Structure 1
Amino acid sequence: MADGCDVAMTSASRTSLPPRTARPRRRRGEPWLAAVAAAFTLGQLVLVRPDLGLGWDETVYVSQVSGHVPAAFFSAPRARGISLLVAPIASWSDSTTLLRVYLALLSGLALYFALRVWRAHVMPRVLALAGGLFASLWVTVFYGPQAMPNYWVAIGALACVGGVVRVRTNAGDRAAWRGVSAGAALMALMRPMDAVYVVLPLLVLALRRPRLLAVLVAGLLAGAGEWVIEAYMSYGGLAQRLSDASRIQGGLGWHLAVADQLRSLGGRTLCRPCTGSAPNPVVTLWWFALPVLAALGAVAAVRARRALPVLLPLACAVTAAVPYLFLIGYAAPRFLLPAYALLAVPVAQGLAHLVTAHARGTARALAVSLVAAGLACHLAVQYVVLEHTVHSSAANHEDWSRTVSALHTLGVRPPCLLSGYEAVPIAFYAGCGSAQTAGHDASTTAATLTRAAHRTPLAVLALPGDRPPAYARTWSAERAGVLHAYVAPSVGQGR
């Protein structure tokens, strides 16, 4: 570790080598990047069990392309990029294990190629350190094999920003131009608004470079095109879809969500409402170290006259994080994945500077020891939180499975329809459709459900002690796992 960082920072302080002599250096860095990507993939398969059931949002995305369950209601903020990504598996197989393995392999491969974009401007071992820092976060390992869009926005951000750094140095670098357009398109395909926030510094930088501006905008439009078209076809227009998306997210505006994000670091996949105390300071220490180390890396890069490869991802990380720290009133750790991916580059430079800033001897050895000990403690904390998160998620999925078994026993079997509390994921597990009369997923009316109850096995789910909706109050109340199920009379007649 110390030798690698010595080479990295000594070389980083020199001027760029000519392209002809840079190629062997890049090739030498390939095994480091491949090792990081392989370790990341293996970590997902071992630490996040491939048989871990699908979460709530995952069931929505997967149901859009599944041949085994009806499509769940698709609310305004969502984009169909992740549904397209899982379609090669989900369209013909209902195996969660197969889907997890596919996504783990794909996410590791994507990380490798995204890191490769940076080879010309970040020394191989520093770049591998950056990839390792991002890939070792519990939130990265947890969401890598999940059918969720945030990790893929992070990958697109890495590729896009790295491509811009390269084309600023060499406008004839065709691979870099492809990285810019593909990265922007991938982000916009997964989460259009996140893509806009990430590229804001890039757009400012491109104002005097028409070609770069055109490629960035074209990439964004290519990725977000389907979302925009769908807005006019199904949501009443783009302005209405944006308005609905804002409302569903609690109304975009000034919301200080920094403390909420802090609370979520203990393994809460969704913090809404975000109450309770913050996790142990040991769990959150790395979060406070990020800006300090990133600033250190930025200062070192400026002094070495290699500022752009560090300052640009730092600026994009800040704009990517702003909406989730200051504009929405709840938190989820996955929201900040793009910011973490981009911050990894300046943070790795900062750590390398800590090691190489001292003269050889006792000071150097002490610096290496402290950095190594800090990274070891960091990995231990990430593993503990990851284990807790996986266990908690598995417990929730088991509750859903018990409810499904009870519903099937009661006669609520496909083709069937569920409504009420957590109806969306439970319906997916049960092979049913889902419909809600209120809330963010409202897609029908009470009258429509009442009519459907005469021809389709239907149940309304509720927590014990909660009253069912008016149209279901005369229906049979049955225990379904940890929930109560109000079963339409037609179900009992057909049993």
Structure 2
Amino acid sequence: MTGSADAAPARTRAARFRHPSDGGRGPRPAVPLAAVAAAFTLAQLLLVRPGMGLGWDEAVYVSQVGAGAPASYFSAPRARGISLLVAPVAAWSSSTVLLRCYLAVLSGLALYLALRTWRGLFPPRVLTLAAALFASLWVTLFYGLQAMPNYWVAMGALAVVGAYLRAGAPPADRAALTGLAAGAALMGWMRPMDAVWVVLPLLAVGLLRRHRRRSAALLAGLAAGVAEWVIEAYVRYGGLLHRLAEGSAIQGGLGWHLAVVDQVRSLGGRTLCRPCTGALPAPLLTVWWFVLPVLAALALYFAVRAGRTTATALPLACAASAAFPYLFLIGYAAPRFLLPAYALLAVPVAAALLRLVTVAPRRRRPVAAAALCLGLVVHLAAQVTVLVHVAHGTTAGHRAWSRTADTLHRLGVRAPCLVTGDDALPIAFYAGCSSAATSGPNADTTADAIARTARRIPVATLVPAGARPPAYARDWPWVPAESRRLYYTLGRGEFPVRPGQVGDG
């Protein structure tokens, strides 16, 4: 009888914690969520396509573990989480298609698992809609199958906040503490500074409310994730503060920069907006971005009225914290930077949208539901339009790099070899060469060092059309390569001349 009496309050508290329309914890409520995750994977493969080729940043990450090209210069802000994530494929295969398929499947699975962490906090239909909202953004679809860290920070953020909330629900949930540590480790593994910004509200709440176990799990996971990055700071970059300073310099100097308008400009399909000038995208492409904070405020309002403030306020606070540095502290924009914020906003925003339908008078609910569906269809059409445009342009750019690499091979520039100049890093990766730069964020050598290298192995220098080559390459033959001049030597003083291929330097 004593055991039953003690168990009853625990069951009552657990029932109060779970949403009244939770629908249970069995497998059936998870089926719609799994269907959205599977559709997300399929949409990536159909709309972005796995044959897109690797981008600049992807080449850096993949080259650290791949056998197809020497490791590219690894600048201070980067972390090695993505390199380790792609290693199971990249370490033994140079197939971009295989790598893309692997990442697409993995990203769909991660979306499902991250939102499953929220079960019991919100009804299954809210989590399903949240998955659909986040997965339908062009930036999510575009980066889900890429070897880039931002999507994985977003998944870690979702898991961390959901696990933090679940860990505070009676009865004690040890699995939630494990998920909390694992999500924090994933974020730290991928982008240490992003991880810190995401967890700041959680640490503040843990300190104020003395959530010792949750705070300990969060800090342990974060420490495990950033440990390699911190150790590498002392081994390669002269210490942690020096690495942070160097990373800030590469990003243009962290400080007060109003990048809100820059982020809006990037919504039209600019993967990197630096410098960020030009006209704003069409309103149809950006209206969702301005509606998002309104829906977030409505979600908080509904949560306060329902007496369930924490489950809504905490993800909103973490989303605001994650977005803050990219809206106010850097002088350029890339839409992928805000993926963690979008992921965290998806759950409360989905709850607000469904609540707007249910608060309407019963006779008008079908009209409200139809209006919501219509708005979502229009939004999806706009996102797919941008996605197709971005994927087409990116694929064309990557193919141009591949053609330049083929030109290098035809000229006899083969491994071991060195490529410098305009877009040297990705072209070198495609050609299987090393890359080097004498200026810019990837500067790692000098002109004299390149000249000495040219006496030993093949070296190519890519110069924009109309620009003068560096001094060490002025006597080298050149050929046109896309929109550039390709100056080259095969080393040991060899300058092969082929009729119709060599310019007048």
TM-score of the pair, normalised by structure 1: 0.94
Do the aligned partners of 1:180 and 1:216 also contact (CA within 8 Å) in 2? yes
- Taking the aligned partners of 1:316 and 1:65, their CA distance within structure 2 comes to 33
The equivalent residue for 2:40 is 40
Q: What does 1:408-487 align with in structure 2 at a 5 Å threshold?
A: 408-487=409-488
- Taking the aligned partners of 2:460 and 2:17, their CA distance within structure 1 comes to 66
The equivalent residue for 1:382 is 383
- Taking the aligned partners of 1:221 and 1:159, their CA distance within structure 2 comes to 17
Give 1:76 shift: 0.1
The equivalent residue for 1:203 is 203
- Taking the aligned partners of 1:178 and 1:33, their CA distance within structure 2 comes to 22
- Taking the aligned partners of 2:168 and 2:202, their CA distance within structure 1 comes to 11
Of 233, 247, 251, the residue aligned with 1:249 is 251
The equivalent residue for 2:369 is 368
The equivalent residue for 1:233 is 235
Give 1:474 shift: 2.2
Give 1:494 shift: 7.2
Q: What does 1:285-324 align with in structure 2 at a 5 Å threshold?
A: 285-324=287-326
- Taking the aligned partners of 1:470 and 1:338, their CA distance within structure 2 comes to 45
- Taking the aligned partners of 2:366 and 2:24, their CA distance within structure 1 comes to 30
CA deviation digits over 1:222-268, x for unaligned, max 9?
Answer: 00000000000000000000000000000000000011111110111
- Taking the aligned partners of 1:170 and 1:104, their CA distance within structure 2 comes to 36
CA deviation digits over 1:90-143, x for unaligned, max 9?
Answer: 000000000000000000011111010001111001110011100111100110
Give 1:306 shift: 1.2
Secondary structure at the counterpart of residue 24 of structure 2:
helix
Where does structure 1 lack aligned partners over 5 or more consecutive residues? 1-13
Secondary structure at the counterpart of residue 266 of structure 1:
coil
Secondary structure at the counterpart of residue 172 of structure 2:
coil
Secondary structure at the counterpart of residue 241 of structure 2:
helix
The equivalent residue for 1:396 is 397
The equivalent residue for 1:51 is 51
The equivalent residue for 1:111 is 111
- Taking the aligned partners of 2:51 and 2:294, their CA distance within structure 1 comes to 38
Do the aligned partners of 1:100 and 1:146 also contact (CA within 8 Å) in 2? yes
Secondary structure at the counterpart of residue 67 of structure 1:
coil
Do the aligned partners of 1:407 and 1:480 also contact (CA within 8 Å) in 2? no
Give 1:290 shift: 0.7
Give 1:26 shift: 4.6
CA deviation digits over 1:276-299, x for unaligned, max 9?
Answer: 111101100111111111111111
- Taking the aligned partners of 1:303 and 1:15, their CA distance within structure 2 comes to 15
Of 215, 218, 234, the residue aligned with 2:217 is 215
Do the aligned partners of 2:233 and 2:240 also contact (CA within 8 Å) in 1? yes
Give 1:211 shift: 1.9
Runs (4+) off by over 6 Å: none
Secondary structure at the counterpart of residue 434 of structure 1:
strand
The equivalent residue for 1:9 is none
The equivalent residue for 1:8 is none
The equivalent residue for 2:24 is 24
Name the aligned partner's letter for residue 256 of structure 2: W
- Taking the aligned partners of 1:167 and 1:201, their CA distance within structure 2 comes to 16
The equivalent residue for 2:68 is 68
Name the aligned partner's letter for residue 343 of structure 2: A
The equivalent residue for 1:5 is none
- Taking the aligned partners of 1:170 and 1:458, their CA distance within structure 2 comes to 65
Do the aligned partners of 2:413 and 2:490 also contact (CA within 8 Å) in 1? no
CA deviation digits over 1:176-217, x for unaligned, max 9?
Answer: 111110010000000000000000100001112222221111
Residue 54 and residue 125 in structure 1: after superposition, are their counterparts in 2 closer, same or farther (change >3 A)? same
Give 1:471 shift: 2.0
Query: How large is the RMSD of aligned CA atoms in angstroms?
Result: 1.6
- Taking the aligned partners of 2:378 and 2:125, their CA distance within structure 1 comes to 21
Do the aligned partners of 1:317 and 1:342 also contact (CA within 8 Å) in 2? yes
- Taking the aligned partners of 1:312 and 1:427, their CA distance within structure 2 comes to 45
Of 246, 258, 282, the residue aligned with 2:260 is 258
The equivalent residue for 2:11 is none
- Taking the aligned partners of 2:324 and 2:169, their CA distance within structure 1 comes to 28
Secondary structure at the counterpart of residue 393 of structure 2:
helix
Do the aligned partners of 1:262 and 1:278 also contact (CA within 8 Å) in 2? yes
Give 1:23 shift: 7.8
Secondary structure at the counterpart of residue 168 of structure 2:
helix
The equivalent residue for 1:11 is none
Do the aligned partners of 2:299 and 2:348 also contact (CA within 8 Å) in 1? yes
The equivalent residue for 2:152 is 152
Name the aligned partner's letter for residue 154 of structure 1: A
Range moving further from structure 2, 166-175 or 137-146? 166-175
The equivalent residue for 2:161 is 161
Do the aligned partners of 1:463 and 1:484 also contact (CA within 8 Å) in 2? yes
Do the aligned partners of 2:160 and 2:180 also contact (CA within 8 Å) in 1? yes
- Taking the aligned partners of 2:304 and 2:35, their CA distance within structure 1 comes to 30
The count of corresponding residues between Structure 1 and Structure 2 is: 480
Give 1:15 shift: 3.9
Do the aligned partners of 1:260 and 1:331 also contact (CA within 8 Å) in 2? yes
Do the aligned partners of 2:254 and 2:329 also contact (CA within 8 Å) in 1? yes
- Taking the aligned partners of 1:61 and 1:436, their CA distance within structure 2 comes to 17
Residue 336 and residue 116 in structure 1: after superposition, are their counterparts in 2 closer, same or farther (change >3 A)? same
Residue 440 and residue 177 in structure 1: after superposition, are their counterparts in 2 closer, same or farther (change >3 A)? same
TM-score of the pair, normalised by structure 2: 0.93
Name the aligned partner's letter for residue 465 of structure 2: P
Give 1:39 shift: 0.7
The equivalent residue for 1:351 is 353
- Taking the aligned partners of 2:197 and 2:472, their CA distance within structure 1 comes to 44
Residue 358 and residue 18 in structure 1: after superposition, are their counterparts in 2 closer, same or farther (change >3 A)? closer
Of 339, 342, 360, the residue aligned with 1:340 is 342
Name the aligned partner's letter for residue 286 of structure 1: W
Do the aligned partners of 2:477 and 2:495 also contact (CA within 8 Å) in 1? no
